[in-house]
């Protein structure tokens, strides 16, 4: 057998010498093997638990406030300031406007003032009323 001399490389190059005549294999980047063990379950730190609790409390508070606002918006009871006044509840008939409701409610008063009073008593957003709507009006 014929022994092949090794190729001399400069020292400190970090490359191992290869005997002459031995074909080199192309180097392909190898992917590191992943362990087949399942990952550990998620564990929260003390700070993480505090943040999760704060977020949950904030969410409950927001839901409570939204429910309270919805309940107040659908309330048909007069406001506390209206409780001491002489009021009557009436239902808007088809074709009636807030002006005609105010005229019928208190014909002796200025209609514009009565309209404003009805808007305040019922927490209306505008002066538009619809048939079937229940309103608290001052009794005249």
Question: What pLDDT does residue 28 have?
Answer: 56
The answer to whether 22 and 3 have CB atoms below 8 angstroms apart is no
Write out the two tokens for 121: 């008593």
- Angle at the Cα of 134 (from 131 to 139), degrees rounded to 5? 115
At a CB cut-off of 8 Å and minimum separation 6, what does 5 contact?
A: 19, 20
* Cα–Cα dist 5/13, whole Å: 19
Q: What is the pTM of this model?
A: 0.42
Q: pLDDT (tens digit, 9 = 90+) per residue, 28-67? A: 555 555 556 677 888 889 999 999 999 999 999 999 888 8
Q: What is the distance, to the nearest Å, from the Cα of residue 5 to the centroid of all Cα atoms in its chain? A: 76
pLDDT band per the 50, 70, 90 thresholds, residue 128? confident
Q: What is the distance, to the nearest Å, from the Cα of residue 36 to the centroid of all Cα atoms in its chain? A: 40
Please give the residue that has the higher pLDDT: either 68 or 96. 96
Residue ranges of alpha helices (H) inside the chain are 46-73, 80-83, 98-105, 111-122
Q: What is the mean pLDDT of the chain?
A: 78
């Amino acid at each position: 057998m014929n022994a092949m001399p090794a190729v001399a490389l400069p020292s400190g190059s970090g490359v191992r010498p290869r005997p002459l005549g031995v074909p080199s294999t192309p180097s392909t980047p190898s992917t590191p093997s992943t362990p087949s063990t399942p990952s550990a379950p998620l564990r929260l730190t003390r700070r993480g638990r505090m943040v999760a609790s704060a977020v949950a409390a904030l969410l409950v508070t927001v839901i409570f406030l939204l429910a309270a606002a919805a309940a107040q918006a659908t309330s048909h009871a007069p406001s506390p300031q209206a409780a001491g006044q002489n009021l009557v509840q009436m239902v808007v008939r088809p074709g009636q406007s807030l002006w005609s409701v105010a005229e019928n409610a208190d014909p002796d008063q200025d209609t514009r003032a009565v309209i404003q009073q009805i808007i305040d008593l019922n927490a209306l957003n505008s002066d538009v009323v619809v048939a079937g709507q229940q309103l608290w009006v001052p009794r005249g």
